[in-house]
């Protein structure tokens, strides 16, 4: 499992570095210019962007044929799928960490009202939910659809994830605390249930 996890990490590391440079440049701008709209875009782009980067791990495996080669190694298909879900969680956490650090630094530097800082919290919840929903949909979908439909599956997964999260996000306007719990709980539950579902699909494939 550890080796699979490392492979998934390095499979997308080059793209992640490019995206990280972009986010750092945007983060400096966010810190210098205390505009809440810019902060909102930064949070969403950071969290969701890193999770999309994680999804590219499967596409990289198919293009390099590494996915087929792994099946000749002494690893179970269950472990292969689990490593992809763990990678999705790792990159989502990286996005949350970067967005959180920049948001806190901006708050400490400009001392805007604490209410403005707490108003950004639902965006973190929304970004995390979109990332988890997308991973939960994309991973089994790509195993089901096939390696030549990676981009299509990624777009479909992202659109579905945004749609589901947006509907749940409306609940937070009516009842903030229960709405937040439903959004996080629902996305996490679907993410956890998606893993054994993806395993079942992968075991039925010849390769």
Domain count, the chain: 1
pTM given for the model: 0.88
pLDDT (0 to 100) of residue 147? 67
Please, what sign has the CA dihedral across residues 66, 192, 136, 90? negative
Domain span holding position 144: 2-204
Q: For the chain, 207 residues long, give each residue's pLDDT as a single digit of tens.
A: 676 767 777 778 888 888 999 999 999 998 888 777 888 899 999 999 998 888 876 666 655 566 566 666 667 878 888 888 998 999 999 999 999 999 888 888 877 665 666 777 888 999 999 999 999 999 999 888 876 777 888 899 999 999 998 888 777 666 667 778 888 899 999 999 999 999 898 888 766
pLDDT (0 to 100) of residue 197? 93
How many whole angstroms separate alpha carbon 36 and alpha carbon 42? 10
pLDDT (0 to 100) of residue 75? 74
């Amino acid at each position: 499992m550890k080796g699979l996890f490392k492979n998934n990490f390095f499979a997308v590391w080059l793209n992640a570095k490019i995206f990280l440079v972009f986010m750092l440049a945007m983060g400096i701008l966010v810190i210098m210019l205390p505009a809440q709209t810019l902060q909102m875009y930064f949070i969403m782009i950071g969290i969701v962007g890193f999770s999309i980067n994680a999804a590219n791990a499967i596409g990289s495996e198919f293009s390099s044929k590494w996915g087929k080669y792994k099946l000749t190694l002494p690893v179970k298909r269950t472990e292969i799928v689990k490593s992809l879900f763990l990678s999705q969680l790792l990159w989502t956490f990286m996005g949350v960490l970067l967005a959180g650090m920049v948001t806190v630094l901006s708050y400490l530097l400009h001392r805007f009202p604490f209410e403005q800082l707490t108003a950004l919290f639902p965006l973190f919840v929304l970004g995390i939910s979109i990332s988890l929903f997308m991973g939960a949909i994309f991973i089994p979908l790509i195993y089901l659809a096939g390696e030549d439909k990676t981009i299509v599956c990624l777009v479909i997964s992202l659109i579905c994830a945004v749609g589901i999260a947006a509907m749940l996000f409306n609940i937070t306007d009516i009842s903030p605390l229960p709405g937040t719990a439903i959004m996080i709980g629902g996305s996490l539950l679907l993410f956890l249930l998606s893993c054994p579902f993806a395993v079942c699909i992968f075991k039925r494939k010849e390769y």
